[in-house]
Amino acid sequence: MRATGTVEMDSFRLAQYTVPAPCYICGGGNNFDAELCRHCYAPMALAHQAASQKIHPRLIAAIGSSGAGKTVFLGVRADMLSRQVEPLQMLARGAFSIQLQQQTMAALSRCEFPSKTPNEPDRWNWLHCQVLRKRQKPAELIMPDLAGEALMEEIDHPNTYPVIRSFLSKCAGVLVLVDAKRVESGQSEEDFQCMKLISYLGELQPDKKTGWPARPVSLIFTKADQCEHCFVDPQQFARRHTPGLFQQCRERLHKHQYFATGVAGACGYRNAAHGRVLVPLRIEPRGIVEPFQWLLQQIAP
């Protein structure tokens, strides 16, 4: 025998699934409790944070060939800016935004470089942060660690990675990383791949007033600590060692600047099971903040 009473039904919860939650990167609809976008695999936390704070973060991309140093550059820069107060300070939004910084610094502390970014978009690290600037309004930014191989695959075969196409189309600015050690040794492949990147951006948004011809592009020669003269005059270094990229940028980009950066003060080789591996002997960041600071000044509202 049971007493009569009221039993609350949970069927009303199904109504939440009838309203799609748009992805902040591609705009595709998703369930409200989805972790990743089912269309482009970007974290849905980006859309939830932007909606709750009623802000529209600016998108910035770091692109370059595989092995150019994108992961190290992004991780070390996030670590440096998160520890200082002036003139720039970076505050991560969400626990997922600290993953890239944590993995990079953990690898460098073991005298190792971080492992290569996997090609699968659902395994990429995303950084959503607030950048505090002296006497200026804070900037809300979203920056992913894109895989170089996936990026070049998207360029050769468009729409292979929809998240890359959607993200680069909406970016306010871009950091193009070029391996200075490769180009100085005469490897023309690095020059060709960077030329492809600039051409791809122009094809995405060709409008001269609102497209990539008018958006800022920071060209960064990484691993410059292994060719010191790159720090003296990065533009002259680009003219001499990457003539195709230099001409491409001069003719197609109205806002671009060359920089040189380095993380490892010295490197050596260590024997491993699969052969010799390049390892950092000491960490001496140089020119990490300057390219990012210049890009922020160019995209400032």
Helix, strand or coil, per DSSP, at residue 133? strand
Q: Structural domain tally of the chain?
A: 2
Q: Give the separation between CA 280 and CA 101, rounded to whole angstroms.
A: 17
User: Residue 10 above 70 pLDDT?
Assistant: no
Residue 11: inside a domain: no
Residue 81: inside a domain: yes
Question: Omega of the bond prior to 87 within 30 degrees of 0, cis?
Answer: yes
pTM: 0.91
- On whether both 42 and 170 belong to a single domain, the answer is no
Q: Which residues sit opposite 286 in a β-bridge?
A: 262
Q: What is the mean pLDDT of residues 187-200?
A: 95
pLDDT for the residue 135: 82
Q: What is the mean pLDDT of residues 1-20?
A: 62
- On whether both 39 and 149 belong to a single domain, the answer is no
- On whether both 52 and 62 belong to a single domain, the answer is no
Residue 13: inside a domain: no
pLDDT for the residue 189: 94
- On whether both 89 and 31 belong to a single domain, the answer is no
User: Residue 50 above 90 pLDDT?
Assistant: no
Residue 2: inside a domain: no
Can you give the residue range of the structural domain that contains 42?
18-56
What pLDDT, in 10s, does the model give residues 94-144?
Answer: 899 999 999 999 999 998 999 999 999 999 999 999 999 888 888 999 999
Q: What is the mean pLDDT of the chain?
A: 90
What pLDDT, in 10s, does the model give residues 135-171?
Answer: 888 899 999 999 999 999 999 999 899 999 999 999 9
Helix, strand or coil, per DSSP, at residue 255? strand
- On whether both 51 and 61 belong to a single domain, the answer is no
DSSP-derived secondary structure for 250-272: HHH-SEEEEEE-EEEEEEEEEEE
Q: What is the mean pLDDT of residues 19-30?
A: 88
- On whether both 179 and 41 belong to a single domain, the answer is no
Backbone φ, ψ for residue 94 (5° rounding): 95, 145
- The CB density around residue 269, as the number of other CB atoms within 10 Å, is 10
